Structure 1
């Protein structure tokens, strides 16, 4: 249910576009307390992830879902509109250049502590138990390494299935044109667990208050249960140059060292 707002305030409120990613999604603040996220990349999976976090890790700073409208797409996933709480603050990306080295380091450690809590969120009982790696709502995984609309990701029953799928996609997209392309299977990392993962943590999705404390983590459309290295590999993917230093701080502050050389190699053709 949407929060109550004074009618006069609603009449005077002018909707403000907070972020816009062409062909993906637009986030609009529609009143003092509410944002509307809509677009081709707004999936039911994001709503499911947000509700799961608020149920099992209420201390994590994520938006509260008020309402949603979804329709089933041709691939079986559901996409549409999510109405959720507005998070007051500035993105880490907008303030990063002005921060001291000590503050940058502290924020990165805080981010890893937040990730540790995310990893503790349990799988929903409604998920197919045979799907070892999965989205939160069981819809097809949309990721260049695993599947798209024309080549939907099959059920991933174990780590070998995950690695085989990544290699099959690599071969399909001409990865063997590289002299070392055949080496990918042995370079892909292995994982002995499936953990809850945000899947798209970067400075633009982290919100801070005036004291540079984390008050929000948004954009959960890529969330699911993935290998333990997946969060790290996603944070280390090629981004805007302004994020290079953040990635280095996150790498240095990481509680564990993951070798994602194979993932980086696969990204030569899967991006």
Structure 2
């Protein structure tokens, strides 16, 4: 799949080819899981591997199309799917390289004002996501509303400016996004936050806690030895 109306093709022309899967594989060390490969001169990053799915690319494309600058995400230029014996074995997502530090890198140096600003902005973006409505989701049996969810909101997945006032440049890694109960975003955010870290104390600033759901989630994950 190629999106011919994207910046990549407008800049490089429709005859410009993406780096091939074979070339990308050659840049990864043998027996190590592939990590995204950056081509800074092309403004391109490629996420690939057996763990990557087309769903992530579709999520990115849809969020950018529906919300535009309200929820900034990398622009998807296209993807490739390699199959073996009729089954998908690897997916390659070609997308915009968004430059800048992550919120995880900047957080320790931010002022209290900047931290509140970032959390307020995250709350606004979560509200935007939840404004999406899926006509099929009312068919899901659950005690609470089903909403569109990022599924991995943590500082490492947020690109910000390196100057004050700090602003969100892009939200990355939409591989876990989808339709989930409204408490799922909060449970996952706390699950990925360090128990003794400062970030955990700020989650309430952009997500509404559901104590009952969180207790059940904690019990389940602890029983699996996840903490």
Identify the structure with bigger relative contact order (alpha carbons < 8 Å, sequence gap 6+): 1
- Indicate which of 189, 193, 196 corresponds to 1:235: 189
CA contact (8 A) 2:56 2:174 kept: yes
- Secondary structure of the residue that 1:90 maps to in structure 2? coil
Change (3 A) 1:29 1:238: closer
Question: Which residue is 1:26 aligned to?
Answer: 35
1:103 and 2:55 equivalent?
no
CA contact (8 A) 1:24 1:40 kept: no
Question: Which residue is 2:174 aligned to?
Answer: 220
Question: Which residue is 1:148 aligned to?
Answer: none
- Secondary structure of the residue that 1:200 maps to in structure 2? coil
The alignment of Structure 1 onto Structure 2 pairs a total of residues equal to 197
1:158 and 2:141 equivalent?
yes
Task: Identify, as 1 or 2, the structure richer in helix.
Answer: 2
CA contact (8 A) 1:118 1:196 kept: yes
Question: Which residue is 1:81 aligned to?
Answer: 92
Structure 2, gaps ≥5 residues long = 14-23
Change (3 A) 1:70 1:265: same
Change (3 A) 1:261 1:34: same
1:50 and 2:38 equivalent?
no
- Partner Cα distance (1:47, 1:122) in 2: 20
- Partner Cα distance (2:195, 2:207) in 1: 24
Question: Which residue is 2:20 aligned to?
Answer: none
Structure 1, gaps ≥5 residues long = 7-14, 133-156, 160-189
- Partner Cα distance (1:130, 1:255) in 2: 21
TM-score (norm. length: structure 2): 0.75
1:245 and 2:181 equivalent?
no
Change (3 A) 1:111 1:220: same
- Secondary structure of the residue that 1:103 maps to in structure 2? helix
- Partner Cα distance (1:36, 1:80) in 2: 10
Question: Which residue is 2:150 aligned to?
Answer: 198
- Indicate which of 209, 212, 217 corresponds to 1:263: 217
Question: Which residue is 1:170 aligned to?
Answer: none
- Partner Cα distance (1:258, 1:197) in 2: 15
CA contact (8 A) 1:57 1:121 kept: no
Compute the RMSD of aligned alpha carbons. Answer: 3.0
CA contact (8 A) 1:33 1:86 kept: yes
- Secondary structure of the residue that 2:35 maps to in structure 1? strand
Change (3 A) 1:94 1:226: same
- Secondary structure of the residue that 2:79 maps to in structure 1? strand
TM-score (norm. length: structure 1): 0.64
Matches within 5 A, 1:169-184: none
CA contact (8 A) 1:195 1:226 kept: yes
Q: Displacement, 1:77?
A: 7.1
Deviation per residue, 1:199-258 (Å, 9 max, x gap)? 01100000001332001000000010000011111100044468x21121122x146331
- Partner Cα distance (2:202, 2:137) in 1: 37
